[in-house]
Amino acid sequence: MTAHREALQEALRRHAEEWRVRRVDASFAESPERHARLSRQAAELTLDFSKNRLDEAVLDLLIALADSAGLRERIDAMFAGQPINTTEERAVLHTALRARDLGGLRVAGKEVASSIAAVKARMRALVEALHRGEWRGFDGQPVTDVVNLGIGGSDLGPRMACTALRDDAAAQVRLHFVSNVDGGDIAHVLHGLDPARTAFIVASKSFTTSETMRNAVTAQAWLARACPHPGLQAGHFLGITACPDRAREFGINESHILPLWDWVGGRFSLWSAIGLPIAMSVGMNKFEDMLAGAEEMDQHFRSTPWHDNLPVLLALVGIWNSNFLGAETFAVVPYDERLAQLPAYLQQLEMESNGKRVTHHTPAVTGHTAPILWGGLGTNVQHAFFQLLHQGTRLVPVDFILALRNPLSPPGHHDMLVANCLAQAQALMQGRTAESLEDATSSKASGSLSVHRTTPGNQPSSLLLMEALTPRALGALIALYEHKTFVQGVIWGINSFDQWGVELGKVLADALLQDMQTNAVAPQHDPSTAAALRLYLARRGDR
């Protein structure tokens, strides 16, 4: 680490000592314009980070830290298609999928814009055929139900966006998602579906992911029971993959295979053909609106000074909270039912990207990288885990997310929803002293009970506001978190675009599966695993 960087970190640690005790509500009292100074607006979104334990002096140091990590160069390298995913020697160009003008960008000698446009045109044709009832099943009836078979990035993004945009969904088609290899998942989804009107998307960048391939085989078998003719069965399957040979081998027709490219990471792939379920649900135009919202955020991210740059600010606030104030987790709490899947989506985005311990230059990072991301829906979580935020012993920063308008919300609801969201952020900041207890004069309140009823406050939170949850705003919101994740990875000095950590579990699961096939327990297992396997083999019954 350079002396300059070390000095910045030392200065930040000194500020953190101060902010461990300094109160945000007191800062507001001293300086009511704090809110205006620590709020920014861009691309459909407003970020108010004024309830975090920081001030401009801290922000300046964090910005200097980002500069010392070469943030400007890293951003330019990403957008230019340089192989910044160094361990896999790949470019990182999910931003190209939503760019209107790529200026002749080429990767490995190949022009990017025309291949993206060609895939989008095929997506549009498929979506329009589906919506017009022209995609027909084996007995000539129109397809009405489409089941996406995928996992991780081939599931979470499309699933999250379809839920978020459910009010925009076309009436003539229903989208379903199966990700888990737990057979209960696919059995539950297929129950009640009509094979003659059901189509499947096998979504897998690698087309080898075992959960997805198992589900695809089960789907084929389910269809074959209703339609024994293999030629007609194939018409019910689409494949989306960077490995089209494998999709062909699986039996998917050439005209039903949509490609993606190795420069689109799985958890960044909802903008590619992996987003087909979104387009099928809301139509291609609204899918393009989502891309446009993301592009607006991309432009903002590329061209705005760090002080006003939403993804950079969100990233810096996160680094401050976890690396300097010591928060081990952070919670994402949308006050919007339609964003129910957002925390799960962000878990993959942030934790698969930045849950790393090796830097570009050294065998180990010195501090912590990605905090544990968790969350849930307001107001529900107020009646579940918020108690811990208000009175627990840990520092847990929260991102609150809220749409100002929801036209489909019945009268009276939205006011209550918004009041609750704002109240929670306020309560987390202010806390509640013994003196402020309403019944402080009563003997019980002033006595032993008051200590149970007070809350310390000073829990940091940020508020992300949008006018309404439109496709465009959703695109901007997702791109915001994508770039936030990238910026944090740059500051930690790690490669946010590989995921080698997930390999070992897959290898060990394969070895265990082999044992299950031969009904034997191989000697390499540890005693605990071997005992569980033996018990399973003894009890598993018919499969």
266 is a contact residue toward ligand F6P (CB under 6 A): yes
Query: Distance between CA 108 and CA 89 in Å, rounded?
Result: 11
**Cβ 129 to ligand F6P shortest distance, Å:** 25
499 is a contact residue toward ligand F6P (CB under 6 A): yes
Q: Name residues contacting ligand F6P, limited to 193-252 (CB under 6 A).
A: 204-206, 209, 212
The correct pick among 267, 300, 414, 483 for binding ligand F6P (CB under 6 A) is 267
Return the C-alpha torsion angle 231, 237, 240, 245, nearest 10: -20
460 is a contact residue toward ligand F6P (CB under 6 A): no
Cβ atoms of 341 and 159 within 8 Å: the answer is yes
Over the window 351 to 380, marking each residue x when it contacts ligand F6P by CB under 6 A and - when it does not, the resulting string is -x----------------------------
Of 23-31, 71-79, 145-153, 437-445, which segment contacts ligand F6P by CB under 6 A? 145-153
The correct pick among 126, 130, 151, 421 for binding ligand F6P (CB under 6 A) is 151
277 is a contact residue toward ligand F6P (CB under 6 A): no
DSSP string, 478-504: HHHHHHHHHHHHHHHT--TT--GGGHH
Q: Of 367 and 501, which CB lies nearer to ligand F6P in the complex structure?
A: 501
**Cβ 185 to ligand F6P shortest distance, Å:** 15
The active-site residue out of 383, 435, 438, 452 is 383
**Cβ 372 to ligand F6P shortest distance, Å:** 17
Q: Of 316 and 342, which CB lies nearer to ligand F6P in the complex structure?
A: 342
Tell how many helices (H) and how many strands (E) occur in the chain: 23, 13
Q: CA separation (Å) from 12 to 316, 321, 394, 488?
A: 12, 11, 21, 16
Query: Distance between CA 19 and CA 468 in Å, rounded?
Result: 35
Cβ atoms of 201 and 175 within 8 Å: the answer is no
Q: Name residues contacting ligand F6P, limited to 40-69 (CB under 6 A).
A: none
Q: Of 220 and 499, which CB lies nearer to ligand F6P in the complex structure?
A: 499
**Cβ 352 to ligand F6P shortest distance, Å:** 6
Cβ atoms of 49 and 462 within 8 Å: the answer is yes
Q: Is 506 a catalytic residue?
A: yes
Q: Of 109 and 505, which CB lies nearer to ligand F6P in the complex structure?
A: 505
Hey, what are 429's tokens? 């900041």
502 is a contact residue toward ligand F6P (CB under 6 A): yes
Question: Which residues have CB under 8 Å from 314's CB, separation 6+?
Answer: 47, 49, 399, 462, 480, 481, 484
341 is a contact residue toward ligand F6P (CB under 6 A): no
The active-site residue out of 296, 350, 352, 482 is 352
**Cβ 269 to ligand F6P shortest distance, Å:** 7
Q: Of 209 and 461, which CB lies nearer to ligand F6P in the complex structure?
A: 209
The active-site residue out of 188, 360, 444, 506 is 506
Q: Is 352 a catalytic residue?
A: yes
Query: Distance between CA 536 and CA 538 in Å, rounded?
Result: 5
Rounded CA Rg of the chain: 25
389: nearest Cα among 421, 435, 425: 425
Pairing type for strands 398-405 and 461-468 reads parallel
Residues that bind ligand F6P (CB under 6 A): 151-154, 204-206, 209, 212, 266-267, 352, 499, 502
